[in-house]
């Protein structure tokens, strides 16, 4: 008899623990899993395998969504719910719906607010494979809307970019086979996924910044990650080799951000790993994020270090312009002032020269060219050009005087503020 009671007790405990809770303490609101403020809605959400952190594949027997206990959803209570698997981590556009043919309907019926919870039980469990990410989709079919203190009432939490896609409107029930264009959101429902057992260790955090393989990261980066449900602290490691800890060795952090106390080295690849800790137990198997810091300050950062153009056509691609320092400040020698960028120099021979700056496609750099004569300590304005915007080429033509030195500055167009330069190619052609 005692054995039977003990087994029954253990079974009850296991059933109680067989659920994944994701940010169920959140109180922010959004349009997920449905809209309570519009007559009809259709919402798809992606929960990554890393975030679910279940110990094995298993049967999902239901879902719980959260809202204020006083919120009314009487006119937003006719739901159809679908689950599915996906390799997507986010939605790339407002029409990037996961086809309903790839989803399984797990519920259709009326829901209610049960003391701050909407609990949905499935007649037939959904088998989660623990290999793909989980799709949670819900369609709300009631014609009326609910009026609450907030436009929307369901609790959400911020997470990976575009992990939710929703449509809401008053025109009619949405057909999930042909949903209209929707809106992407960087949040998801606070949720309990019933039937899955959490892994013995907490989930690995999603690192927001820097992203994997990011380039030109500042030497004192503001590292940031999303909080992990149930985590009470995190450990940060940084090394110069995969899995290395030679820079930062499991620094304990209670917030979800960190910046090294000593600046990193320029032009260096670093490997970052963040693990979460819950009640003394750390997450395992967390992957490194690799990033590269900004290059060293370029040799031609200052006028005194200007690169000499002596053979024409002269072409130089400045890959390290992001590390320019603006030196003593913006240059106001010409009427149209500009940032102190990188410098080039040539000696005139009486001919005309065309000076052109181009950027890679998609660049956000908006350059200006300044041309000066005289000396670095006593510049005289010859010409300046800033006709285009970001990524637009700039061209200026000058007539030189034999024996006169000309200095060319390629910097950001801002007249009074220091803005980082970026990759560009300078071409000087003799006409």
Task: Report all structural domains of the chain as residue ranges with CATH numbers, in order of start.
Answer: 16-194 (2.60.120), 207-293 (2.60.40.10), 303-430 (2.60.120.380)
Return the DSSP state at 280: T
How large a percentage of the chain has pLDDT more than 90? Answer: 93
Closest CA to 268 of 260, 280, 258: 260
Residues linked to residue 26 through DSSP beta bridges, in sequence order: none
pLDDT tens-digit series, residues 421-431: 999 999 999 99
Segment 195-210 mean pLDDT: 96
Torsion angle in degrees (nearest 10) through CA of 5, 64, 87, 282:
-60
Confidence of residue 17 (pLDDT cuts 50, 70, 90): low
Average pLDDT over all residues of the chain: 94
Q: How far is it, in rounded angstroms, from Cα 415 to Cα 249?
A: 43
Mean pLDDT of 71-95: 96
Peptide bond into 232 cis (omega under 30): no
**Tens digits of per-residue pLDDT, 214-262?**
999 999 999 999 999 999 999 999 999 999 999 999 999 999 999 999 9
A 10 A CB-CB count for 48 gives: 19
Residue 42 in 3-state DSSP?
strand
Arithmetic mean of pLDDT, 112-127: 97
DSSP state of 198: B
pLDDT band at 22 (very low <50, low <70, confident <90, very high): very high
Q: Which tens digits make up the pLDDT trace of 349-393? A: 999 999 999 999 999 999 999 999 999 999 999 999 999 999 999
**What pLDDT is recorded for position 9?**
37
Distance from C-alpha of 346 to C-alpha of 50, rounded to nearest angstrom: 57
Confidence at residue 149, expressed as pLDDT on a 0 to 100 scale:
77
Q: Report pTM.
A: 0.80
Burial class (CB in 10 A: 0-12, 13-18, 19+), 307: middle
Nearest to 142 by CA among 79, 72, 70, 63: 79
Instruction: Compute the distance between CA of residue 365 and CA of residue 153 in angstroms, rounded to an integer.
Output: 42
Whole-angstrom distance, CA of residue 134 vs CA of residue 193? 11
């Amino acid at each position: 008899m005692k054995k039977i009671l003990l087994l029954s007790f253990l079974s009850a405990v296991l059933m109680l623990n067989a659920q994944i809770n994701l940010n169920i303490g959140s109180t922010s609101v959004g349009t997920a899993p449905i809209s309570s403020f519009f007559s009809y809605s259709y919402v798809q959400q992606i929960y990554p395998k890393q975030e679910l952190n279940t110990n094995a594949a298993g049967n999902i027997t239901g879902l719980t969504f959260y809202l204020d206990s006083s919120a009314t959803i009487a006119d937003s209570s006719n739901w159809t719910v679908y689950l599915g698997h996906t390799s997507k981590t986010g939605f790339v556009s407002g029409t990037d719906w996961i086809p309903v043919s790839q989803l399984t309907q797990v519920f259709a019926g009326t829901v209610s607010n049960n003391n701050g919870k909407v609990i949905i039980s499935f007649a037939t469990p959904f088998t989660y494979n623990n290999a793909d990410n989980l799709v949670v989709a819900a369609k709300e079919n009631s014609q009326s809307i609910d009026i609450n203190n907030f436009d929307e009432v369901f609790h959400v939490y911020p997470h990976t970019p575009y992990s939710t896609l929703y449509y809401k409107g008053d025109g009619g029930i949405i057909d999930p086979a042909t949903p209209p264009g929707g809106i992407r959101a960087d949040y998801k429902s606070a949720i309990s996924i019933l039937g899955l057992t959490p892994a013995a260790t907490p989930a690995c955090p999603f690192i927001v910044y820097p992203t994997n393989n990011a380039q030109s990261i500042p030497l004192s980066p503001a590292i940031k990650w999303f909080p992990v449900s149930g985590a009470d602290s995190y450990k940060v490691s940084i090394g110069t080799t995969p899995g290395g800890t030679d820079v930062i060795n499991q620094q304990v952090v209670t917030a979800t951000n960190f910046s090294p106390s000593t600046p990193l080295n320029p032009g260096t690849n670093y490997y970052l790993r963040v693990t979460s800790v819950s009640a003394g137990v750390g997450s395992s198997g967390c992957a490194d994020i690799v990033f590269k810091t900004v290059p060293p300050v370029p040799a031609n950062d200052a006028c005194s270090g200007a690169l000499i153009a002596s053979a024409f056509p002269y072409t130089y691609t400045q890959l390290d312009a992001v590390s320019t320092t603006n030196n003593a400040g913006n240059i106001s020698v010409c009427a149209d002032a500009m940032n102190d960028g990188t410098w080039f120099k040539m000696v005139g021979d009486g001919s005309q020269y065309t000076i052109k700056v181009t950027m890679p496609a998609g660049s956000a750099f908006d350059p200006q060219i300044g041309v000066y004569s005289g000396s670095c300590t006593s510049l005289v304005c010859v010409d300046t050009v800033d006709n285009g915007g970001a990524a637009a080429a700039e061209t200026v033509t000058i007539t030189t005087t034999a024996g006169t030195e000309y200095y060319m500055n390629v910097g950001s167009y801002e007249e009074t503020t220091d803005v980082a330069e970026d990759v560009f190619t300078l071409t000087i052609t003799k006409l």
